[in-house]
């Protein structure tokens, strides 16, 4: 069976060489990476990738948002199976976030080549532009503009800190690669993204492969509790309106609400606090704190939205800062990914993604799924980001099996 | 009886004129005051005070810390009864904090004069230098240096923000008033300080006079809770070490400890918070907060010190920032103050002081007590500081009765 052959042809050594070479473009501090979207380092990395694609006999397209589509033709002219991720990094990023998914996709093309397999459907390795959102806002720019092209006109006006617009950076990309043909959005049979977990779940469970069932939705709120400033020495407790006590009580009730709604799937964080006047001997008259609540079930998020105001004392301002619906991945794709993991002979488990990925937008375009490999200590967006080479290999083997299997589907 | 006559001779109109004139030296923002210790405005106010003293036939001394002693002689050369407070203000202070006690003392001298009373003991109205501590640290500088003269050599080196030392400012005071005789610390029969409450207790109880039983002691601590920063989306709750949750749990246990130790006398404030990295979607790895705990009973403070570490999670840093023992005022003086309040015919109650005052140091020198009048809404250190004229008069009447009574004691 071709999926098994493709998997067996994956080379951990070749994969590592691809990752090592990509890491030469935009090295950052302490062994990490700093390759901002559409920067000179990014353009150089893209130039190298185009060479790699041509050596593999692939054709490459780009689109209005500088996404790159590296296509290995199939036996039939059907909608392709796509895989990929991003190669831009955080300013103090690691070498694996995004890059791993793209290099593993390239390695799968090498493996298919080495195994002499011609799949029924074409396979495309995609580089999505500016997933991190650290040079230009918002993140997942390339994948969201691909799926919803009307976004691009808005994105083009966004500026980086030096005043360069997305439009100017995209035009510079066109000028740098004038021979790259442009292509509009096309139908796809499936999209699979391989990524490091960026969390501690797989490592703690000592399981090398995760089949991602979906990406949890998120609610960001800001709560502003109002009290009355007064002297800490002269004001009896029953005459106080201490905004910090009000805020801690509110946080406790919000925590209980999240416990009740989400039980063991709770992810709730009070990460940002501002206390006024913030003096040792003065009772706080205003405390502002943030809520980050995430869940995979839209009904749980809706219940949280509905019941949150009831957790707050009177005269409290509640503002919604950000909201994103959960993504449930396609059951058929998830099923193929489970078979692929089983085929590797390694342990695997279902997992949901706490972080956002390009696959979140692709899920609105075609049947989509994701594979995770463990992150050491759950660390990411940091030069210390690391995954065992054996796990990097395992993920790529599962990806190769999945792509080959999906590409044989009618 | 002379105490009754002295009380009846107190003039609310004369008192208000004294307060109004003092408020012309160093007006601040929004009708408030800004008269920093030993500033030009303070020196001008002192010059006016010296004129007032001479018009009353009083002799005035100063000492090494520029405290002023305005003495009305008695029939016998016995240790005097002292009263007074301070005339320096916060940068955004009101017209009553400190000033009221000094002006009321002067008005008592006027009343004795008007009533033709010559008390057995001398009565001295004292202006203590730099009680607020806002120009030069520490506060209560004059009263503490008077009671413990060895402090002065250290104080003289302290600088204001412009680099002027206490020593230089004191020398300038000497140069400004070259005719003022110097006097060392002398024995005193009693010290009574009349002050605005700076808290809401008397106003809420609708009681115009408070007999202060003591000044509560204070403990200031800083608690630093350590967690591990991690992604709010990818890190399951049971794998987190959220420093903010640790800090809130610790605050809850500290609150319960204070409840148990202090019951209805609890005064506990968590006023200052610093959260790192203070980002919405990152779990806090370090939270620092302050504890301000006050109580009148040294045993309660000692129990708090002893049991506080047990409220904190492991790997928490606890630092003591400041500590001051409680002051219990002299029962005999307190008894006289109660009689004085009764003599006014107005309601009065026992109260403890939550804020520090010069009387805290004088209590280490001679039998000491304090009288409070209500502060509107408990506000002080603010241009909105206000006390009803009727209450200002009532306090001064009680002070006059007290001074006359104490000054007749053998």
Q: What is the CATH number of the domain that holds B99?
A: 3.40.630.10
Inter-chain touch B284–A266, beta carbons under 8 Å: no
Chain B residue numbers touching A282 (CB-CB < 8 A): 269, 271
Among B245, B273, B378, select the one facing A273 at the smallest CB separation.
Answer: B273
- Is the Cβ pair A200, B235 closer than 8 Å? yes
Q: Distance (Å, rounded) from C-alpha A216 to C-alpha B238?
A: 18
Cβ contacts (< 8 Å) between A198 and chain B: which residues? 231, 234
A288 close contact with B: CB closer than 8 A: no
User: Closest Cα to residue A28, out of A16, A15, A41, A43?
Assistant: A41
Q: Is the peptide bond before B179 cis (omega within 30 degrees of 0)?
A: no
A197 in contact with B, Cβ within 8 Å: yes
DSSP 8-state class, residue A233: T
By Cβ distance, the residue of B201, B220, B244 closest to A270 is B244
Do A192 and A271 reside in the same domain of the chain? no
Distance set, CA A279 to CA A27, A229, B229, B291 (Å): 43, 10, 26, 10
Vertex B248 angle, CA B242 and B251, to 5°: 140
Q: What is the pLDDT of residues A165-190, one digit of tens each?
A: 999 999 999 999 999 999 999 999 99
Closest-CA residue to A392 (of A91, A105, A24, A4): A105
**Min Cα separation A194/chain B (Å):** 16
Q: Do B272 and A279 touch (CB under 8 A)?
A: yes
β partners of residue A43: none
Average pLDDT for residues A346-362, to the nearest whole number? Answer: 96
* Chain centroid, CA A199 distance in Å: 12
Is residue B167 within 8 angstroms of chain A, CB to CB? no
* Record: contact A233-B294, CB cut-off 8 A: yes
> What is the number of domains present in chain A?
2
Q: A156: closest CA among A178, A132, A129?
A: A129
Contact A354 B292 (CB under 8 A): no
Interface test with B, best of A232, A295, A322, A357 (most B CBs within 10 A): A232
Express each pLDDT in B214-230 by its tens digit. 999 999 999 999 998 88
Q: How far apart are CA B130 and CA B89, in angstroms?
A: 8
B281 contact residues in A (CB cutoff 8 A): 220, 269, 271, 292
Closest CA to B382 of A172, A230, A410: A230
Tell me, yes or no, if B410 comes closer than 8 A to chain A by beta carbon.
no
Closest chain B CA to residue A262: B237
CB spacing of A236 vs B200 below 8 angstroms? yes
Nearest C-alpha in A relative to B222: A280
Check whether residue A235 and residue A198 sit in a common domain: no
Q: Chain B contacts of A229, Cβ < 8 Å?
A: none
pLDDT exceeds cutoff 90 at A264: no
Q: Is A64 found in the same domain as A90?
A: yes
Retrieve residue B84's tokens. Answer: 């007074």
pLDDT at A134 over 90: no
Task: Looking at the structure, tell me whether residues B237 and B376 fall in a common domain.
Answer: no
B355 to A230: CB separation less than 8 angstroms, yes or no: no
3-state SS of chain B is CHHHHHHHCCCHHHHHHHHHHHCCCCECHHHCECCCCCCHHHHHHHHHHHHHHHHCCCEEEECCCCCEEEEECCCCCCCCEEEEECCCCCCCECCCCCHHHHHHHHHHHHHHHHHCCCCCCCEEEEECCCCCCCCCCCCCHHHHHHHCHHHHHHHCCCECCCCCEHHHHHHHHHHHCCCCCECCCCCCCEEEEEEECCCCHHHHHCCCEEEEEEECEEEEEEEEEECCCCECCCCCHHHCCCHHHHHHHHHHHHHHHHHHHHHHHCEEECCCEEEECCCCCECCCEEEEEEEEEECCHHHHHHHHHHHHHHCCCCEEEEEEEEECCEECCHHHHHHHHHHHHHHCCCEEEEEECCCCHHHHHCCCCCEEEEEECCHHHCCCCCCCCCCHHHHHHHHHHHHHHHHHHHHCC
Q: Per-residue pLDDT for A146 more than 90? A: yes
- Same domain for A124 and A258? no
H-helix segments, A345-388: 358-362
Mark yes or no for CB contact B271/A252 under 8 Å: no
Could you say which of B294, B324, B354 is where a domain stops?
A: B324
Q: Which of residues A324, A340, A368 is at a domain's end?
A: A324
A273:B278 CB<8 A: yes
Which among B245, B252, B280 is the nearest to A290, CB-wise?
Answer: B280
User: Looking at chain B, which residue has its C-alpha nearest residue A289?
Assistant: B280
For residue A109, give the DSSP letter. H
B170 with B307, same domain: the answer is no
User: Residues A267-315: pLDDT tens digits?
Assistant: 999 999 999 989 888 899 999 999 999 999 999 999 999 999 999 998 8
Q: What is the ipTM of this complex?
A: 0.83
Look at residue A279 in the predicted model and tell me its pLDDT: 86
Note every long-range contact of A148-154, with CB atoms under 8 Å and residues 24 or more positions apart, other chains counting. A148/A361, A148/A364, A149/A64, A149/A184, A149/A185, A152/A64, A152/A65
Is there a contact between B235 and A378 if contact means CB atoms under 8 Å apart?
A: yes
Give per-residue burial for A73-106: e unless 16+ CB within 10 Å, then b: bbeeebebbbbbbbbbbbeebbbbbbbbbbbbbb
Which site among A221, A229, A231, A275 would you substitute to test the B interface, given the most B Cβ atoms closer than 10 Å to its Cβ? A231
Give chain B's length. 410
What pLDDT tens digit does each residue of chain B (410 aa) get?
A: 699 999 999 999 999 999 999 999 999 888 889 999 999 999 999 999 999 999 999 999 999 999 999 999 999 999 999 999 999 998 888 999 999 999 999 999 999 999 999 999 999 999 999 999 989 989 999 999 999 999 999 999 999 999 999 999 999 999 999 999 999 999 999 999 999 999 999 999 999 999 999 999 999 999 999 998 888 998 999 989 999 999 999 999 999 999 999 988 899 999 999 999 898 888 999 999 999 999 999 999 999 999 999 999 988 999 999 899 999 999 999 999 999 999 999 999 999 999 999 999 999 999 999 999 999 999 998 899 999 999 999 999 999 999 999 999 99
In chain B, whose CA is at the least distance from the CA of A248?
B248
CATH code at B297? 3.30.70.360
Are B346 and B320 contained in the same domain? no
CA of A331 to nearest chain B CA: how many angstroms apart?
A: 22
| pLDDT at site A150 | 97
- The answer to whether B357 touches B370, Cβ cutoff 8 Å, is yes
pLDDT(A31) > 90:
no
Q: Which residues of B fall within a CB distance of 8 Å from A275?
A: 271-273
Interface probe for B, chosen from A280, A295, A326, A379 (most Cβ of B below 10 Å), is A280
Q: Which residue reads 């007064």 in tokens?
A: A230
Tell me: pLDDT of A29 over 90: no
Look at residue A7 in the predicted model and tell me its pLDDT.
98
Confidence of residue A96 (pLDDT cuts 50, 70, 90): very high
**Same domain for B193 and B68:** yes
Structure tokens at B104: 């009321």
Backbone angles phi, psi at B119, to 5 degrees: -75, 160
Among chain B residues, the shortest Cα distance to A355 is held by: B233
Contact yes or no for A197/A395 (Cβ under 8 A)? no
Structural contact between residues B403 and B108, judged by C-beta atoms closer than 8 angstroms:
yes
User: For residue B239, what is the nearest residue in chain A, using CA coordinates?
Assistant: A200
Output the pLDDT for position A269. Answer: 97
**A-B interface: how many C-beta pairs under 8 angstroms?**
168
Verify whether the Cβ–Cβ distance A267 to B233 is below 8 Å: yes
B residues 59..98 contacting A (CB < 8 A): none
Closest by Cβ to B267, choosing from A233, A251, A378? A233
Instruction: Identify the domain boundary among A294, A324, A354.
Output: A324
Residues B236, B376 share a domain = no
Cβ-based contacts of B200 with chain A (< 8 Å)? 230, 234-236, 239
pLDDT at residue A318 is higher than 80 = yes
Residue B52 and residue B9 share a domain = yes
**A48-56 CB contacts, 8 Å cutoff, 24+ apart:** A48/A21, A48/A22, A49/A87, A49/A102, A49/A106, A49/A127, A50/A177, A50/A180, A52/A18, A52/A106, A53/A106, A53/A125, A56/A106, A56/A109, A56/A110, A56/A113
- Mark whether A64 and A201 lie in a shared domain: yes
Q: Which of residues 363-402 of B touch A (CB under 8 A)?
A: 378, 380-381
pLDDT of residue B179: 95
Residue B344 sits in the same domain as residue B364? yes
Domain that holds residue A294: 217-324
- B315–A contact, CB cutoff 8 A: no
Name which of A275, A278, A280 is nearest B292 (Cβ-Cβ). Answer: A280
Question: Does the distance separating the beta carbons of B283 and A234 come in below 8 Å?
Answer: no
Please give the share of chain A, as a percent, with pLDDT higher than 90: 89
Q: Is A199 on the interface with B (CB under 8 A)?
A: yes
**Spatial contact of B218 and B293, defined as CB atoms under 8 Å apart:** yes
Has residue A263 got a pLDDT over 90? Answer: no
Smallest Cβ–Cβ distance between A355 and the set B233, B273, B283 belongs to B233
How much is the pLDDT for B279?
86
Average pLDDT score, chain A: 96
Residue A180 phi, psi dihedral angles, 5° rounding:
-70, 120
CB interface of A with B, residues 241-280, below 8 Å: 242, 244-245, 248, 251-252, 266-273, 275, 278-280
Length of chain A: 410
């Amino acid at each position: 069976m071709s999926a098994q052959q493709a998997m067996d042809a994956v080379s951990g050594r070749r994969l590592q060489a691809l990752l090592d070479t990509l890491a030469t473009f935009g090295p950052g501090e302490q062994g990490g990476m700093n390759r901002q979207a559409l920067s000179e380092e990014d353009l150089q990395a893209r130039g190298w990738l185009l060479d790699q694609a041509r050596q593999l006999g692939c054709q490459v397209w780009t689109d209005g948002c500088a996404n790159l589509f590296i296509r290995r033709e199939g036996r039939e002219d059907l909608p392709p199976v796509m895989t990929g991720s991003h190669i831009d990094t955080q300013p103090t990023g690691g070498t694996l976030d995004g890059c791993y998914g793209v290099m593993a996709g390239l390695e799968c093309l090498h493996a298919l080549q080495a195994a002499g397999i011609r799949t029924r459907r074409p396979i495309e390795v995609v580089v999505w532009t500016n997933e991190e959102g650290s040079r230009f806002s918002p993140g997942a720019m390339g994948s969201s503009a691909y799926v919803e092209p009307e976004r691009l006109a808005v994105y083009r006006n966004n500026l980086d800190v030096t005043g360069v617009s997305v439009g100017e950076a995209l035009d510079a990309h066109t000028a740098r690669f004038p021979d790259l043909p442009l292509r509009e959005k096309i139908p796809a049979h499936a999209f699979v993204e391989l990524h490091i977990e960026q969390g501690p779940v797989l490592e703690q469970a000592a399981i090398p492969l995760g089949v991602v069932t979906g990406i949890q939705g998120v609610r960001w709120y800001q709560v502003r509790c109002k009290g009355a400033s007064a002297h800490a020495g002269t004001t009896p407790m029953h005459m106080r309106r201490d905004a910090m006590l009000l805020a801690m009580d509110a946080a406790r009730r919000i925590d209980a609400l999240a416990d009740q709604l989400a039980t063991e799937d709770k992810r709730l964080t009070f990460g940002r606090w501002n206390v006024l006047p913030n003096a040792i001997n003065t009772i706080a008259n205003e405390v502002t704190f943030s809520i980050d609540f995430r869940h995979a079930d839209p009904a749980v998020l809706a219940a949280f939205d509905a019941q949150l105001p009831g957790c707050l004392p009177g005269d409290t301002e509640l503002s919604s800062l950000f909201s994103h619906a959960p993504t449930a991945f396609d059951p058929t794709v998830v099923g193929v990914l489970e078979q692929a993991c089983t085929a590797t002979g390694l342990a695997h488990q279902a997992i949901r993604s706490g972080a956002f990925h390009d696959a979140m937008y692709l899920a609105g375009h075609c049947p989509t799924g994701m594979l995770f490999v463990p992150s050491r200590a759950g660390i990411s967006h940091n030069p210390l980001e690391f995954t065992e080479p054996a796990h990097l290999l395992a993920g790529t083997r599962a990806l190769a099996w999945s792509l080959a299997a999906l590409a044989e589907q009618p």
